[in-house]
Structure 1
Amino acid sequence: MNSYRIALNFEDGVTRFVDCGANEKVLDAAFRNRINLPMDCSDGVCGTCKCKAESGTYDLGDDYIDDALTEDEAGQGMVLTCQMVPQSDCVIAVPVPSTACKTGTGQFSATVSAVQPLGDAAYELVLDVADAAPAFLPGQYVNISVPGSSLHRSYSFSSAPGNGRMSFLIKQVPGGLMSSWLQGARAGEPLQMTGPLGSFYLRAVTRPLLFLAGGTGLAPFLSMLEVLARDGATQPIHMVYGVTRDADLVLVERLQAYALQIPGFSFSTCVADPQTAHARQGYVTHHLPAQALHGGNVDVYLCGPPPMVDAVQQHFKAEGIVPTHFHYEKFTPTQPLAAVAEALA
């Protein structure tokens, strides 16, 4: 019997995956996995189970009433999980926290395969999964527990879902808790993780894409590009990758490889340092080609530090740019180890 993988993405960013059998309704599949999605009548009458299908194909049947789901709502991707029968893998946005559905983050373990320093800018951490490869959406992150401490750090996958080997791009923070551990990490050491988490992930591609990456905010885009290459993306995709220093431009060769694999993909890089020898000095907002905005008919994905995210938002507002969809994620460097120790003292 065929089954489909359904990603339930909750309001608090927690994602849980369930397998939904052929002719099985999403609500029933969730309950079978002990996830109590919102519901009342389960007959397509009350609308309590209304969610949004962000990708995938499905059948809603005709057993629900308009008061529960209007024709306009259905046209916008709204669904009743008590009536929805998937016909492919789907991603469903659930408008309540995971805790309200009596579920939470998944937990899994992995072992260190390699730690590759990328100059003094970042590390690439490669992990082998101990059990089945965890499911996640390209762009999401996990919390990795730092061995020898009670703390964790959050990192986006830079690898694609479905692999037994995972990778992460981690900024080198002098004295940082994870950076300090990575300096002495050895192959085979175990790591514990919780996730996947986050509402920053690749949606169904129906129009051109503009990717804006700042520093190690490149990581989720590497995951997305791997999926786009694997799926044979046909829409135009442009990336602007901005960093502070020349040395912070890492894994550019990966982007060059994707430019060869994905027919519509192009990218440019820029460096903010006024003393840079790079061809494009300045911030991402200085190097946005008008043609990559497609007159607003574009889905924009942005991942970078808060000042970058704020600057892009202000730039769009000042220029009157209103993209069809604008997804973004802010991240901040974690405190150095000494500062953490002081705070805990």
Structure 2
Amino acid sequence: MSYNIALNFEDGVTRVISCQPGETVLDAAYRAQIKLPMDCSDGVCGTCKGACHQGQFDMGEDYLDEALSDEEAERGLVLTCQMVPASDCVVEIPAPFSLCCTSGDASVSAVVDEVNLISPTAIELKLTAEADIGFLPGQYVNLRIPGTEETRAYSFSSRPGSRQLSFLIRNVPGGLMSSWLVGQARTGDRLILTGPMGVFYLRPPERPVLMLAGGTGLAPFLSMLASLQTTGCQHPVHLVYGVTHDDDLVGLDALERFAASMPFFSFKTVVASDQSAHPRKGYVTAHLEDAPIRDGDVDVYLCGPPPMVEAVLGYFREQGIEPRSFHYEKFTPSRPAAREKVA
């Protein structure tokens, strides 16, 4: 017996697919020629996260808490790569249907222009792509590490619509990509990029926007802000950027330029370390007094390591505030190919 699964996309499109016994929603959608957001398909990355509030299903136990926490599961969130329906279901997909009609896995070659160690913990990589990459501000690509079959996923920090690409990459001691960038990369080297991917991207602003960045999770916001600099915005946009140590603060010149050229944009920085001389210490949740939260009439974008993401989600729950929309992406420093979003 098969089950009917209604996939509700964020642009209002609904598609009904047939799911066979023991088949995951992700596989059933793929069989119906619908490519749902996905990176690892193993319950590791969380890219395929959706929500199901109607129907019975089994999620099993073969997924990481970083991909789907117990609290998220209690709220009805699911991983479509692990969700096996036991009845007809309705699944909310946090992406437009148009994004799920494309392959999303095209490969492009790019040439290394610059590799800059901009802090002890961050690397700026600049590339020139040999073909157009139609990414949305906030999305990422998988970069293949030269001489290996391994890839790492990095968010664009550059403006969409240009072949001049940039990435803000955490310098992980002993990391495969970090070691190649710091020790071997040369101008003119070629990299293979696969993508774009991800459903963490800027939607057209219809209300105030709050951006919360942790560490090199600043990268997608630099791309979003570069896009807003071109399109403009009728609503306030506020960024709170938190790091662990003073040396981790990067991209400040770019943020100052955005603030100077966009009257609707403001930002503040926060350093967690007790040893810091920074005027604002602690975590981002302690410095939201200027945030345009407006009792939930706000779109929130959050990118950072899992503890930060969980802390912010907990903060909003404790405050009893439910933002109009909440888009977030967790990352950790290093993980095997195609299983992780690394900002």
Does TM, scored on the shorter chain, surpass 0.5? yes
Partner SS for 2:153:
strand
Tell me the equivalent position of 1:176. Answer: 175
SS of the equivalent of 1:260 reads helix
Determine if contact 2:238/2:291 at 8 Å carries over to the other structure.
Answer: no
> Aligned pair 1:137/2:102, yes or no?
no
Superposed CA offset, 1:253-289 (max 9, x none): 1101000111110000000111110000100111111
**Contact 2:104–2:196 (CA under 8 A) maintained in structure 1:** no
Alignment of 1:221-236 (within 5 A): 221-236=221-236
RMSD (Å) for aligned C-alpha atoms:
2.4
Structure 1 residues 105, 246: closer, same or farther in 2, change over 3 A? Answer: same
Q: Cα gap change, 1:175/1:200 in structure 2, threshold over 3 Å: closer, same or farther?
A: same
CA distance in 2, matches of 1:102, 1:211: 28
> Secondary structure of 2:159's match?
coil
Task: Please list, as runs of the form range in 1=range in 2, the aligned pairs for 1:23-38 lying within 5 A after superposition.
Answer: 36=33
Residues 104 and 197 in structure 2, CA contact (< 8 A), matched pair in contact too: no
Q: 2:164 matched to which residue of 1?
A: 165
1:249-328 residue pairs with structure 2 within 5 A? 249-289=249-289, 291-328=291-328
Going from structure 1 to structure 2, the CA distance change for 1:202 and 1:278 (only over 3 Å counts) comes to: same
Inter-CA distance 222–291: structure 2 relative to 1 (3 Å threshold): closer
Question: Tell me, what secondary structure is at the counterpart of 1:226?
Answer: helix
Offset of 1:130 from its aligned partner? 1.3
Distance 1:194 1:11 in 2: 27
Specify whether residues 192 and 204 from structure 1 end up closer, same or farther in structure 2 by C-alpha distance, changes over 3 A only.
same
SS of residue paired to 1:322: coil
Q: Which runs of 5+ in 1 are unaligned?
A: 1-9, 13-34, 39-90, 337-345
Q: Deviation of residue 148 (structure 1)?
A: 1.4
Task: Report the equivalent of 2:20.
Answer: none
In 2, the alpha carbon distance for the partners of 1:262 and 1:92 equals: 28
Which residue pairs with 1:120 in the alignment? 120
- 1:290 Cα deviation from its structure 2 partner: 5.5
Classify 1:11/1:309 alpha carbon distance in 2 versus 1 (closer, same or farther; 3 Å).
Answer: farther
- Give the distance between the partners of 2:8 and 2:246, measured in 1 at CA: 38
Q: Are residues 161 and 291 of structure 1, via their aligned partners in 2, closer, same or farther at CA, if it must alter by over 3 Å?
A: closer
Aligned-partner residue type, residue 167 of structure 1: S
Q: Which residue of 1 aligns with 2:154?
A: 155
Contact 2:157 2:219 (8 Å CA) reproduced: yes
Aligned pair in 2 of structure 1 residues 171, 236: CA closer, same or farther (>3 Å)? same
1:119 Cα deviation after fit: 2.0
User: In structure 1, what is the Cα distance between the partners aligned to 2:103 and 2:321?
Assistant: 39
TM-score normalised by structure 2 residue count: 0.69
* Shift in Å, 1:215: 0.2
TM-score when normalising by structure 1 = 0.68
Shift in Å, 1:234: 2.2
Alignment partner, residue 341 of structure 2 = none
- The share of aligned pairs that are identical, in percent, is 53
Asked whether the equivalents of residues 303 and 309 of structure 1 are also in contact (C-alpha less than 8 Å), the reply is: yes
Aligned length: 249
Partner in structure 1 of residue 96 of structure 2 = 93
| 1:36 and 1:102 in contact (8 A); partners too | no
How far apart, CA to CA, are the structure 1 residues paired with 2:290 and 2:256? 22
Deviations 1:164-196 (A, max 9, x none): 200000001111111100012111100001111
Which secondary structure does the structure 1 equivalent of 2:292 belong to?
A: helix
Secondary structure in structure 2 of the residue aligned to 1:259: helix
Retained in 2: the 8 A contact 1:176–1:335? no
Residue 291 of structure 1: how far off its partner (Å): 4.8
Equivalent position amino acid for 2:130 in 1: A
Which whole-Å CA distance do the structure 2 matches of 1:255 and 1:102 have between them?
Answer: 33
Matched residue SS, 2:216 = helix
Residue 106 of structure 1 deviates from its aligned partner by 1.3
User: Taking structure 1 as reference, are residues 103 and 258 closer, same or farther at Cα in structure 2, changes over 3 Å only?
Assistant: closer
Mapped partners of 1:268, 1:135: distance in 2: 30
List structure 1 runs of 4+ shifted beyond 2 angstroms. Answer: 35-38, 101-104
1:66-77 superposed matches below 5 A: none
The residue aligned with 1:57 is none
CA distance in 1, matches of 2:245, 2:209: 26
Give the equivalent residue in structure 1 for 2:189: 189
Judged with a 3 Å threshold, the aligned counterparts in structure 2 of structure 1 residues 162 and 204 are, in CA distance, closer, same or farther, namely: same
Q: Does 1:107 align with 2:107?
A: yes
Give the conservation status (yes or no) of the 8 Å contact 1:234–1:263.
no
